[in-house]
Amino acid sequence: MTTVTSPLAGRAIGLAAVPDPVFSGAMVGPGTAIDPVREPMDAVSPVDGVIVSLHPHAFVVVDGEGHGVLTHLGIDTVQLNGEGFELLVNKGDTVTRGQSVVRWNPAAVEEAGKSPVCPVVALEATADSLSALREDGDLKPGDQLFTWQ
């Protein structure tokens, strides 16, 4: 079983509240979403594992059980072409839960006209493989978001 923790501070809102049909419809996979606090911060790894995909606006960490967890920093933020995002690790790096991966500023994303809401998705999972799913309440980095069987 994998415990997935929050990569950032904010408020859990659930995937259904994400302003993007691909995420809100769980087409990428099940999970939850976070409306981040509006201040510069580091997004941290939600699990121990290896960075298998790394972009300024999104990263995937695969844990020892083969579970891939996507953290997507904002919606349509790929259109910002990396502006306002700083990569702190490299693809292929082994990271620990809570280790900083990307430095960014949700307020700047919002000022650029994009939603700063961050989906955290269990890739290639089924909804019934997740439990203890957080869809409301305040979060700080490292708080449990869900467990994955």
Residues annotated as catalytic (active site), given as ranges:
72
d(CA 45, CA 69): 9
Q: Among 27, 57, 60, 36, which residue's Cα sits nearest to residue 46?
A: 60
Residue in the structure block whose two tokens are 């979060």: 139
Encoded amino acid at 87, one letter: L
d(CA 96, CA 116): 24
Residues 6+ apart with CB under 8 A from 76: 20, 114, 115
Contact of 119 with 35, CB cutoff 8 Å: no
d(CA 19, CA 17): 6
Joined together, the tokens standing for residue 110 give 């919002």
